[in-house]
Amino acid sequence: MSVPARLDSYIETDKQRHFSRDFLAGWTEYETWEQARVGEVAPAQRTFELLQHPIFVTTIGFYTVGERGIGTWMRTPGARNPGQRIEIFEPFRYGDTITTTVTTQDKFVQRGKPYIQMLLDFRNQADVLKARWWCSLILPATRSDVARFANA
């Protein structure tokens, strides 16, 4: 999936330049619904140093989760979003370094569709809980199902 060139004018920082906006690139490395294990807890791939404000929790989540491992399913081609819940406990501040912990909360099949839910906890450099994001998606169930979307 190509990203429209008109969006390039919004890219201002090195962090933005190095973050892939093409969620189809590298999809074979994403965690799938069938691989996700309820109760699994792991640190996200990256930390996030807050350079500007305001910032959206989802932006930090997408950046910190990275492209491999737990939680990457939120980038999955063909995923649908049935709802989210975000709680902000303390404002993000300029200079904060944000660490994200990802917990796979649940996965289930409802009305024939595979759902997955995770909780992302965002903490600053002093281990203060800044925000929580409960993320839910309906995903293609297997890697071959994802491939049909990614290669369409």
Question: Is the pLDDT assigned to residue 49 strictly greater than 90?
Answer: no
The pLDDT, as a whole number, for residue 114 is: 93
Assign 53 a pLDDT band (cuts: 50, 70, 90).
very low
Q: How far apart are CA 142 and CA 81, in angstroms?
A: 17
CATH class of 15-150: alpha beta
Q: How far apart are CA 88 and CA 68, in angstroms?
A: 26
Give the tens place of pLDDT for each residue, 104-125. 999 999 999 999 999 999 999 9
Question: Is the pLDDT assigned to residue 47 strictly greater than 50?
Answer: yes
100 and 44 Cβ atoms separated by less than 8 Å: yes
Q: How far apart are CA 74 and CA 81, in angstroms?
A: 9
- Domain spans of the chain, in order of start: 15-150
Backbone phi and psi for residue 33, each to the nearest 5 degrees, phi listed first = -55, -45
Burial class from Cβ neighbours inside 10 Å (0-12, 13-18, 19+) for residue 126 reads exposed
Please, what is the average pLDDT of the chain?
86
The pLDDT, as a whole number, for residue 45 is: 87
pTM attached to this predicted model: 0.67
Instruction: Find, among 71, 81, 75, the residue nearest to 115 by Cα.
Output: 81
Query: Which percentage of the chain shows pLDDT scores above 70?
Result: 91
The pLDDT, as a whole number, for residue 2 is: 61
